[in-house]
Chain A
């Protein structure tokens, strides 16, 4: 089955620790995205990548880092600089090669819930 896999589903972090959330897709999508969801605030874009070895900051990139070394993988590191990391993190992918580039329907993973102790 084609899809997008996030792990772990639940993660607990002590203050001052970095943690990395995994996101893998086998949909042959060019673009991948990380969103953060807090209660009542919808989804906010952290980082996105449209091609291997390239990525752009979203609206709330501070305290986060990403890499895109392979087309299939887009891990997100929540660093100790992120002051309020407790949230639900959603990874998504979209956009196959070729036009129209704007028809970018996203497929989402099941999410990772991070709690800071």
Chain B
């Protein structure tokens, strides 16, 4: 079963606009991560937010986490055509002790940024 569900499934914006993607999950987590995938390629890690954090920034990326609502959002500011890709959230659960935990991915949001 998919732990993370993302919304919207597709997002189309103009260069310079901000893009916001949301992720909801069902069970308790150790951390939540966002990845990017260009068409036909592997995924690339963008940012990780721990379960005891509420907000994190990295360059033009801003991630929030609300554990009470079991949801996260990824904001890309001042988007560029090169940001066109699919974006996935992934939740890490059951980590601790000798276990790295299990990473479960959502369905992804397809972002298209028009020049």
Interfacial residues, chain A to chain B (CB-CB below 8 A): 30-31, 33, 35, 40-45, 48, 50, 58-59, 88, 90, 92, 94-95, 100-111, 113
Contacts and interface: CB of A to CB of B under 8 A. Distances in A.
A108 B44 contact: yes
Contact of A105 (B30, B33, B98, B108): B33
B88 A104 contact: no
B96 A102 contact: yes
Interface string B57-93: 0000000000000000000000000000000101010
Interface of B: 1-2, 30-31, 33, 35, 40-45, 48, 50, 88, 90, 92, 95-108
Contact of A103 (B31, B40, B105, B108): B31
A71 to B, nearest CB: 14
Given A59-B1, A101-B98, A102-B96, A111 B42 contact: yes
Given A42-B2, A42-B106, A48-B102, A102 B95 contact: yes
